[in-house]
Amino acid sequence: MIYERDALKRIFDKYDEDRTKARMERDRRVKEVNEKYPQLLEFDRKITEIGIENFKNILDNPEKSEEFNKNFEKKLSLLKEKKKNFLLENGIPEDFDEVKYNCEKCLDTGYIDNEKCPCLIQKIIDLHYEMSNMKGNLHDFSEFSFDYYGDKYIEKLDMTEKENMQEIFKKAQNFCEDEKSKNLLFYGGCGLGKTFLSSCCAKKMLDSGKSVIYETAASLFSDYEDYKFGRREGSFDETNELITGADLLIIDDLGTEVTNPVSVQFFFDIINKRTALSKKMIISTNLTMDGIQKKYTERLFSRLYESFEILHFIGEDIRIQKLKKEGHKND
């Protein structure tokens, strides 16, 4: 995706900048300490001197290399000990001449032995959070409550409202964990937890390093129509890359948009492209299945049935239930 590629480039540019700053800061610190304590330069000069001396001795008398190396190690150890004591006596950190990276694991490169460093993984997760359009509106599966779903029996499902919701909940969790699971279509009345459960799926995917894009149907299709009919400047390429390439696309409130042949074809193309790329989708709507069939083309309706697991949210509007509870508390 264009936006993601640009953002990733900025992440690695920042790594380069941080490494440069860390090295410049090390150089500044070393210069400052050496100017104040010239004795340290003398320690370093002597260490270099005995190293050169040992190298020459071995070249001249290679048969005595083992003896020379032992003597060198003794002298080196003594000098290092003296330097360490000097640093300690003057309150100078022993690692003052080392580069201090933000991440000592990867040395601000983002990688450890060709594997992503945890710091890079976190930056990618943070990037995906920013891209998702859901920052501040995400929920964890642990926050989901079944208390708002009753024991009313649903004959066509042969289970209660709560049991139905528990089944949907399990399928949503499996959707996040199983790469091959079908897309999800949440449908049912207002305030039954469709958007909330979608946000739980989004957070789970984001936390695992996946990219997620959230759009309301009205906003997405309106933006596309404005571009298509020349009502907006610029390209639609970036948005198109995001909605096509994200690991998870959530389209909320399907049916609230103004429907016309252009938006319907655009919607159909999104489903086709993402299906071909094996990319996940969640669609939520307050429409009934009959309502979807009437509002959209038979071809699109058939595509939804083929590519999505249809999950029916049944119960009483949770917002109304909460208001009722608050009313009883105030009585």
Domains, the chain, with CATH or none: 2-89 (no CATH), 132-330 (3.40.50.300)
| pLDDT tens digits, 214-224 | 889 998 888 88
Q: What is the pLDDT of residue 1?
A: 46
Query: Mean of the per-residue pLDDT values for the chain?
Result: 88
Closest CA to 181 of 267, 98, 281: 281
Mean pLDDT over 248-255 rounds to 93
Residue 132 has pLDDT above 90, yes or no: no
Q: What is the pLDDT of residue 232?
A: 65
Q: Which residues, including other chains, have CB under 8 Å from residue 172's CB and lie 6 or more apart?
A: 141, 184, 197, 200, 201
3-state DSSP call for residue 20?
A: helix
Residue whose tokens read 């304590």: 37
> How many residues does the structure list for the chain?
331
Mean pLDDT over 84-113 rounds to 91
Checking 229-232 for CB contacts under 8 A at 24+ apart, the result is 229/262
Residue 151 has pLDDT above 70, yes or no: yes
Mean pLDDT over 64-86 rounds to 90
Closest CA to 195 of 320, 311, 312, 283: 283
Alpha helices in the chain (DSSP H): 2-36, 39-60, 65-89, 118-131, 161-177, 194-207, 217-228, 237-245, 261-276, 289-295, 298-307, 318-330
Q: Specify whether the CB–CB gap between 162 and 146 falls below 8 A.
A: yes
Mean pLDDT over 47-66 rounds to 90
Residue 153 has pLDDT above 60, yes or no: yes
Q: Specify whether the CB–CB gap between 234 and 226 falls below 8 A.
A: no
293 versus 6: which is more confidently predicted? 293
Residue 192 has pLDDT above 80, yes or no: yes
Cα dihedral across residues 290, 295, 180, 129: positive or negative? negative
- pTM of the predicted model as reported, rounded to 2 decimal places: 0.70
Q: What is the pLDDT of residue 48?
A: 92
240 versus 38: which is more confidently predicted? 38
Residue whose tokens read 């083992």: 66
Q: What is the pLDDT of residue 330?
A: 53
Q: Highest mean pLDDT range out of 15-19, 130-134, 231-235?
A: 15-19
Q: Specify whether the CB–CB gap between 160 and 154 falls below 8 A.
A: yes
Q: What is the pLDDT of residue 235?
A: 64
Pairing of strands 212-216, 248-254: parallel
Q: What is the pLDDT of residue 2?
A: 47
Closest CA to 206 of 176, 182, 236: 176
Structure tokens at 233: 């400047």
324 versus 112: which is more confidently predicted? 112
Whole-number Cα distances in Å, 123 to 9, 128, 207, 262: 12, 9, 11, 37
Q: Specify whether the CB–CB gap between 191 and 317 falls below 8 A.
A: yes
Closest CA to 164 of 153, 174, 180, 173: 153
Closest CA to 4 of 245, 271, 282, 201: 245
Q: What is the pLDDT of residue 115?
A: 87
> 312 - beta bridge partners?
187
